[in-house]
């Protein structure tokens, strides 16, 4: 459903330019949950923004359901890392969730119904009338997830979605993501810098190199379902995969832990 | 939500008012200068001018029922029009760097012209009357609203805009539901500045070219050497200014409650 071929992008030009993507090839099948990991600053977000149509890549092609991405595709929703700046503080939680549904041409009662259903799925059915800033960080991110779910996208993009919450909330949100994808026929592309997380939630883990990013690893995660925070993480397969992903993220040389433009 | 109120919000903060009034009374009585009548004289003259009518009209006199509504009406009309024009143009300037580059210098020039200087021009253009006064107020007070709205619209959180883009909100929805609410705190700051400016321009426009209104009454009192009347009109203008400001702040608190609360918690 998603075909990315030889995607490149450079920010700026001249000596101050930053070569973020160095030819990324990736294809994602319908219904997959693909995690993308890589060292920080390697261009993961650039990749996601290209898929979302928020950024025009310098070169290469992104095909979404066979059609090249120009502008934001209709069947796509995004969950950003910074929930407090991605939710609108002047709207109630329910209004935040139902706002994108206007694009689908739903009338008001049906928008409200869909918003309530999505909020129920993330366990926030009571919070519709509240404002985002009246909720904790984890709850705000659940609202952002509900907003994406209500939209019923074919492809859900998540950009470091659990990067700004505490460890306990993070685990809850990971399980929430696994639970809701069971209810919807969605393909999910989740970006993270957390190796454990990528192995825990993903069907597939794609490892990017430091900038300019290329795909250096593509591993299938064959852990028993359903995943469970304690049991899955002590499964021998989990331990083996996270070591493998860890080595790929670090790169072939031990010194390449903090890759600089000169070393690549 | 509302812990210990700041000292200025407690009812007790009003105590300097009677003290100042008593001091004023004593000083003017001691001086005995006709140009400085004591407040008791001013207040009884105010009562005479505006509150000595029949009981079935709440004691309001003809002057209170014609001059004050005429002035307030023109003030609010000019201010509301300025709000509409200023917010619309300001948001357009804030969102379009091109427009801002072309019109920015013009705006700064127009803003630098002291608004009372526009009076002769508008008197020639519209002749004396409400139309002229409303236009003077409109052109005098639109600038703070315009410049603040542009500032607010220019600094919308990029992630808000990106979210709106990612969910495919149309241009109109983006403007109405993302840009406008983001800019609203700044718009209100501009509106508040403009409201006090509008009161000043209302009086000035009535002093120069009017046949009714509070400014005209002030001029009338001065021409007939009615000094308590002059003072009374000044006090009335002060009270009107306070009332407008209080009403505006109450509206702002209601409309921007999300802004205050969101900034307290984050």
Instruction: State the pLDDT at residue B3.
Output: 47
| Residue of B167, B177, B266 lying closest to A103 (CB–CB) | B167
Domains of chain A: 1-75+156-165+187-235 (3.40.50.300)
For the stretch B80-98, what's the b/e string if a residue is b when 16 or more beta carbons lie within 10 angstroms of its beta carbon?
ebbbeebbebbbbbbbeee
How long is chain B? 266
Q: What is the DSSP letter of A4?
A: E
Distance CA A143, CA A108 (A): 19
Q: By residue range, what is the domain housing residue B161? A: 60-265
Q: Give me the CATH number covering residue B218.
A: 1.10.3720.10
Q: How many domains does chain B have?
A: 1
Residue B9: inside a domain, yes or no? Answer: no
Q: Average pLDDT in the B9-26 region?
A: 83
Contact A88 B265 (CB under 8 A): no
Closest chain A residue to B179 measured between Cα atoms?
Answer: A88
For the stretch B23-51, what's the b/e string if a residue is b when 16 or more beta carbons lie within 10 angstroms of its beta carbon?
eeeeebeeeeeeeebbbebbbebbeebbe
Residue B180: inside a domain, yes or no? Answer: yes
Instruction: State the pLDDT at residue A181.
Output: 84
Mean pLDDT per 10-residue section of chain A, whose length is 264 residues: 89 84 90 90 86 88 87 88 90 93 87 92 90 91 92 91 87 89 86 91 90 86 86 88 88 56 47
Residue B163: inside a domain, yes or no? Answer: yes
| Residue of A54, A99, A131 lying closest to B258 (CB–CB) | A131
Strand partners, A217: A207
Residue B84: inside a domain, yes or no? Answer: yes
Residue B244: inside a domain, yes or no? Answer: yes
The closest alpha carbon to A162, from A193, A136, A185, A184, belongs to A193
Strand partners, A61: A5
- Predicted complex: ipTM over 0.85: no
Residue B16: inside a domain, yes or no? Answer: no
Closest Cα in chain B, distance from residue A222 (Å): 32
Instruction: State the pLDDT at residue B212.
Output: 87
Tell me: the pLDDT tens digits for A18-64? 888 888 999 999 989 999 998 877 788 889 999 998 888 888 889 99
Q: What is the DSSP letter of B179?
A: I
Per-residue confidence at B10, pLDDT binned at 50, 70, 90? low
What is the overall mean pLDDT for chain A?
87
Return the structure tokens found at B76: 């609010």
Instruction: State the pLDDT at residue B251.
Output: 94
Distance CA A156, CA A134 (A): 26
Tell me: the pLDDT tens digits for B195-231? 999 999 999 999 887 888 899 999 999 999 999 999 9
Return the structure tokens found at A185: 């026929």
Region of A26 please: left (phi>0), alpha (psi -120 to 50) or beta: beta
Residues of B within 8 A of A77 (CB-CB) are: 166-167
Contact B262 A133 (CB under 8 A): yes
Closest chain A residue to B265 measured between Cα atoms?
Answer: A133
Closest Cα in chain B, distance from residue A77 (Å): 6
| Residue of A72, A85, A89 lying closest to B166 (CB–CB) | A72
Residue A218 main-chain phi, psi, to 5 deg: -145, 100
Residue B117: inside a domain, yes or no? Answer: yes
Q: Average pLDDT in the B111-140 region?
A: 88
Which residues 207-246 of A have a C-beta within 8 angstroms of B?
none
Residues of B within 8 A of A53 (CB-CB) are: 165
Instruction: State the pLDDT at residue B243.
Output: 94
Return the structure tokens found at B251: 């509206």
Q: By the CB < 8 Å criterion, does A78 face chain B?
A: yes
Question: Which of B152, B162, B163 to probe by mutation at the A interface, max A CB count within 10 Å?
Answer: B163
The closest alpha carbon to A150, from A99, A200, A201, belongs to A99
Q: Average pLDDT in the B179-202 region?
A: 94
Residue A2's H or E segment, with its range, is strand A2-11
Residue B1: inside a domain, yes or no? Answer: no
**Residue whose pair of structure tokens reads 């400001």 in the numeric block:** B245
A254-257 long-range contacts, Cβ below 8 Å, gap at least 24? A256/A210, A257/A39
Residue B36 main-chain phi, psi, to 5 deg: -120, 75
Contact A100 B165 (CB under 8 A): no
Distance CA B80, CA B138 (A): 8
């Amino acid at each position: 459903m998603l075909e990315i071929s030889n995607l490149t992008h450079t920010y700026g030009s001249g000596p101050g330019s930053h070569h973020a993507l160095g030819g990324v090839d990736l294809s994602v099948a319908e219904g997959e949950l693909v995690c993308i990991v890589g060292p920080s600053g390697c261009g993961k977000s650039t990749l996601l923004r290209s898929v979302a149509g928020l950024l025009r890549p310098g070169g290469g092609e992104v095909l979404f359901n066979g059609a090249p991405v120009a502008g934001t595709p209709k069947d796509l929703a995004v969950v950003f890392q910074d929930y407090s700046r991605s939710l609108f503080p002047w709207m109630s939680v329910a209004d935040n969730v139902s706002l994108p549904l206007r694009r689908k041409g739903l009338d008001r009662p049906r928008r409200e119904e869909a918003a309530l259903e999505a909020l129920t799925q993330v366990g926030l059915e009571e919070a519709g009338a509240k404002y985002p800033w009246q909720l904790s960080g984890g709850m705000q991110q659940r609202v952002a997830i509900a907003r994406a779910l209500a939209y019923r996208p074919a492809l859900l993009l998540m950009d470091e979605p659990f990067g700004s919450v505490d460890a306990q909330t993070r685990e809850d949100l990971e399980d929430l993501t696994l639970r809701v994808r069971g209810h919807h026929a969605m393909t999910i592309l989740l970006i993270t810098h957390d190796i454990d997380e990528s192995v825990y939630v993903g069907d597939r883990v794609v490892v990017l190199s430091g900038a300019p990013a290329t795909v250096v690893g593509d591993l299938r995660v064959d852990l028993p379902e359903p995943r469970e925070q304690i049991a899955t993480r002590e499964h021998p397969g989990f331990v083996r995969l996270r070591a493998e992903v860890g080595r790929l993220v670090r790169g072939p040389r031990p010194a390449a832990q903090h890759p600089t433009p000169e070393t690549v | 939500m509302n812990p210990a109120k700041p000292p200025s919000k407690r009812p007790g903060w009003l105590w300097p008012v009677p003290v100042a009034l008593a001091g004023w009374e004593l000083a003017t009585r001691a001086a005995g200068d006709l140009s400085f009548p004591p407040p008791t004289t001013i207040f009884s003259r105010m009562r005479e001018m505006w509150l000595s009518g029949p009981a079935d009209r709440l004691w309001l006199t003809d002057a209170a029922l014609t001059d004050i509504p005429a002035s307030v009406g023109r003030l609010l009309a000019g201010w509301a029009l300025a709000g509409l024009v200023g917010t619309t143009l300001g948001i357009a300037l804030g969102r379009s760097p091109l427009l801002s580059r072309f019109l920015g210098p013009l705006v700064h020039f127009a803003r630098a012209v002291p608004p009372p200087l526009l009076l002769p021009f508008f008197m020639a253009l519209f002749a004396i009357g409400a139309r002229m006064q409303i236009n003077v107020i409109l052109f005098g007070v639109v600038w703070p609203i315009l410049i603040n709205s542009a500032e607010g619209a220019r600094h919308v959180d990029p992630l808000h805009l990106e979210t709106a883009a990612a969910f495919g909100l149309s241009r109109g929805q983006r403007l109405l539901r993302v840009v406008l609410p983001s800019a609203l705190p700044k718009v209100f700051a501009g509106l508040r500045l403009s409201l006090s400016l509008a009161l000043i321009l209302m009086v000035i426009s009535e002093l120069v070219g009017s046949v009714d209104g509070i400014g005209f009454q002030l001029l009338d009192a001065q021409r007939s050497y009615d000094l308590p009347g002059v003072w009374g009109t000044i006090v009335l203008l002060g009270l009107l200014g306070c009332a407008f400001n209080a009403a505006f702040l109450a509206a702002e608190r209601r409309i921007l409650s999300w802004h205050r609360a969101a900034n307290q918690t984050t």
